[in-house]
Amino acid sequence: MDDVDAVQSLLDLISAEIAASGAMYADAVAEHAQARLRLKLTLLAAASRRAPRRQEEVVVVVVEADDPEVCASTAVFLQTSVRVEHIQKYQRVLVHAQMFLVAARAVAFAQTRAHLLPGVLLTVAMLRRGAPWCPGQRAS
């Protein structure tokens, strides 16, 4: 690509998408935390229905998978887990695309402005030497 403006417009689109996916990720993480809490509470309720009432002993309680509340909470938890993972992967792809476009913009900028480089270097050299013709500088 040699058009700096086209690359910049793509870079702006990617940056906006990164911001939007960040908001989606925050929502997904919050939903996942709520789903995890609901699953814990559902498992605790199912275990308390099956556990003996003695509190002095540590008892291992097996919750059966055919409990509809446990199955529903587990399904929601797994769905939110997958959603968080997919958004993370999407964000990584967007960041890689952004890095590529930054490099492409630098190359496009260098290609379109290459003819200006000798003049810029000459100006910098003259400024460094303190040339008397520079605006704002007095001849000594």
Tally of CA atoms within 13 A in the half-sphere of 101 that contains its CB: 18
Range of 73's domain? 4-129
Q: Taking Cα atoms as reference points, which of 28, 27, 19 lies closest to residue 84?
A: 28
- Whether residue 50 lies inside any domain: the answer is yes
* Residue 139, in any domain of the structure: no
- 124 belongs to a structural domain: yes
DSSP secondary structure code for residue 77 in this structure = H
Per the structure, the count of domains in the chain is: 1
pLDDT at residue number 1: 47
pLDDT by residue, tens only, the chain of 140 residues: 458 888 889 999 999 999 999 999 999 999 999 999 999 998 888 877 766 665 555 555 556 667 788 889 989 999 999 999 999 999 999 999 999 999 888 888 878 877 877 777 777 777 777 655 555 555 54
Residue 138: inside a domain: no
3-state secondary structure 119-131: HHHHHHHHHHHCC
Residue 19 within a domain: yes
